[in-house]
A and B are shown apart, each in its own frame.
Chain A
Amino acid sequence: MKKNSLLFLAGVIIVLALGFLMPWLLRNPFYFFAGYVVLQYVTIATGWNILGGYAGYINFGAAGFFGAGVYLSAFLFTTFGLPLPLCILAAAIVGAILGVLMGYLTLRIQGVYFAIATLGLVVVLETIVHNISGLGGASGMAVYGPRPPAWSPGPSQYNFTVMVVIAVASVALARWVEISWIGRGLRAVRASEDAAECSGVPTLRLKLVACALSGAVLAAAGAPYPFYTSFVEPVTAFSLIIGLNAIAMPLIGGTRTWVGPVIGALLLASVQQIATVTISSELNILFVGAVLIAFVAFAPGGISDLFGRNKGRARP
């Protein structure tokens, strides 16, 4: 475990260094524009997996948390001129509160109800945003992002570097959850909630912690989005494809470890980035939906289970 942690730390440092150096090495801003989306999905998939993968509680409302982060940071930036790091922090806090609220209302009963309630979260939040004229309502609002600091050559590159930091932080958080007592407890919840409860695992508290962390990461993933697109509107902020990818990526990559969502997100998001240039967004959703069904039906352990080191591990 010690050696693994050192390796992980080295990986984190290398990725962060690349995130800061790449903008000076590669000239074409398109790479950063596309890379941002891929990293955004790494963050979303990782955040979703903390609750969905480790605890086995499926969240269909990832787009709700994401959209909440998008709108909160857009609002804080345009009205109070809050700097981007504080916007991200605020989004994470609100995401955590939303997660706890959601969990508190539904987690005491079975997982099915939690899943159904999360489906509703998106509809409810989208309805609220539609009805608040201060947030632009249905027509959306323009956000003129902050001027990039001197260490970054341009706005695309700056957003990219910010997203690298968020993605690395979320993966590190997910890894910490996985190897700490929280992860052990959540695995027990996933294997058998009744057995875990009987042997003294504080299941409700653990699930609430997972909800909070997952919500925080999902909302943080949305926080830089207004500055990436310079425009926010409800349909893209609460987009269906976000909720779909949040589930599909971890399930394709594998939900047991932090590696799975990262692999799934890198693969699927890269394919989508290439595909959106060539095919329509409808075919894109169709493709992800079909891949999702295929994996759920025929390879429920995901890619990391097919090839990876966890081959010997027993399935529940």
Chain B
Amino acid sequence: MLSIDILLNAIVTGILLGSVYASLALGLGITFGILHIPNIAHPTLVVAGAFFVYTLTQWGLDPIVAAVIGLVPFYLLGVVLYAFYSAVFERKGGANVLQSLTLFFGLSLVIEILLSLGFGSELKSVSVSYIGSSLKIGILTVPYRLLIPALLAPVTIAAVWLYLSRTSSGTAIRAVAHEERALSIAGLNPASVKRHAFGIATATAVIAGAALIMVGPIEPFAGRFQIGRVFAIVVLAGMGSIPGSLVIAIIIGIAEALVSSYLNPSWSPGVAFAILLLGLALRPQGLFGAAR
């Protein structure tokens, strides 16, 4: 039963899936991990990104090119979302977690319904010449429709991480969550820094959306199944540790791939949540974060 090629294929598939999950979680790593805004609408924004990419590919564009085009409108969408959020809550002296969770919950439902009214509830997929076949190395079979999106993730994560750690506006984003007053004393407007960060986080959703729709067909409510994974990744990586999220995402991906090849694929949606619950119970500060 434990034949080596099934095991190896499962592990490789898991690594690639995990890499895709990491790109889904990247935006949440910024909004929740750094800014501490529990944006549970992020997976739905990723699905919205996937539908954006789908629409452009219908006009003959390549999905990756479509995602790059989508960066600007999604950045602006994020800025508008944060402007609304802060107009409602921050004015009243900081947001109450319960209220902001509820706001984003309502928002994600509205987006989902608008998508399903606009596109119908059938599965949508993209087809490009280079994602049809598979790469074969010895006993390993790696489909390109998984490999290419999986390569997208480390590139995006590296770009975002370099931006956050090497540039001064990136440093401002990391600083704003720690000490807002100090930031305004230093002459920066915390509100505009956060708006910018939220814009970047939302812009990553369109890249993740392109990855998601390349991996497999997608429907308007697909975001719901990703919520567990993305929060598990951000929380277990340790709030704000973006490189750590790649490691956790790959662990979750491998666990899911092993469960679906040795047990049954229908069990795999529960895997991420089981890992999250265990992680929260045993090590609440995350694997890579400092104790808070």
Chain A interfacial positions (CB closer than 8 Å to B) = 52, 56-58, 60, 105-106, 108-113, 115-117, 119-121, 123-124, 127-128, 130-131, 240, 244, 247-248, 251, 282-283, 285-286, 288-290, 292-293, 296-298, 300, 316
Contacts and interface: CB of A to CB of B under 8 A. Distances in A.
A115 B274 contact: no
Contact of B101 (A112, A123, A289, A300): A112
A38 B284 CA distance: 40
Nearest to A297: B88
Interface string B108-146: 011001101100000000000000000000000000000
A50 B108 CA distance: 25
A124 B109 contact: no
A115 B270 contact: no
B235 interface: yes
Interface in B255-280: 264, 266-267, 269-270, 272-274, 276-277, 280
Given A113-B280, A124-B269, 5 more contacts: A115-B38, A116-B276, A120-B272, A123-B225, A247-B105
Contact of A60 (B105, B225, B280): B105
Contacts of B212: none
B244 interface: no
B107 A293 contact: yes
Interface residues of B, number: 39
Contact of B102 (A109, A111, A117, A292): A292
Closest 8 interchain pairs by CB?
A: A120-B273, A289-B109, A292-B106, A293-B106, A127-B270, A286-B113, A297-B88, A124-B270
Nearest to A282: B113
A131 B264 contact: yes
A129 to B, nearest CB: 11
B280 A296 contact: no
Q: Which applies to chain A's interface (DSSP): helix, strand, loop or mixed? A: helix
Contact of B280 (A52, A58, A117, A288): A117
A299 to B, nearest CB: 11
Contacts of A56: 98
B222 to A, nearest CB: 13
A105 B97 CA distance: 20
Contact of A282 (B102, B105, B117, B264): B117
A234 B274 CA distance: 20
Contacts, number: 118
A58 B102 contact: yes
Contacts of A286: 109-110, 113-114, 117
A280 to B, nearest CB: 9
13 contacts: A58-B97, A60-B101, A105-B280, A106-B281, A112-B101, A121-B273, A123-B225, A124-B274, A247-B105, A282-B113, A282-B116, A292-B105, A296-B106
Interface of B: 38, 40, 88, 96-99, 101-103, 105-107, 109-110, 113-114, 116-117, 221, 224-225, 227-228, 231, 235, 264, 266-267, 269-270, 272-274, 276-277, 280-281, 284
Contact of B266 (A58, A106, A119, A131): A131
Contacts of A108: 284
A106 B101 contact: no
Contacts of B269: 123-124, 127
Contact of B40 (A57, A119, A289): A119
Contacts of A293: 103, 106-107, 110
Contacts of B221: 240
A146 to B, nearest CB: 33
A282 B101 CA distance: 22
Contacts of B114: 286
A119 B227 CA distance: 8
Contacts of A285: 109, 113
B15 to A, nearest CB: 23
Contacts of A316: 96
A116 B117 CA distance: 27
A58 B98 CA distance: 6
B77 to A, nearest CB: 16
A124 B266 CA distance: 11
Nearest to A126: B269
Contacts of A124: 269-270, 273-274
A289 B113 contact: yes
A123 B110 contact: no
B235 A111 contact: no
B266 A127 contact: yes
B116 A123 contact: no
A111 B277 contact: no
A240 B116 CA distance: 15
Nearest to B228: A120
Contacts of B116: 282
A300 B96 CA distance: 10
Nearest to A120: B273
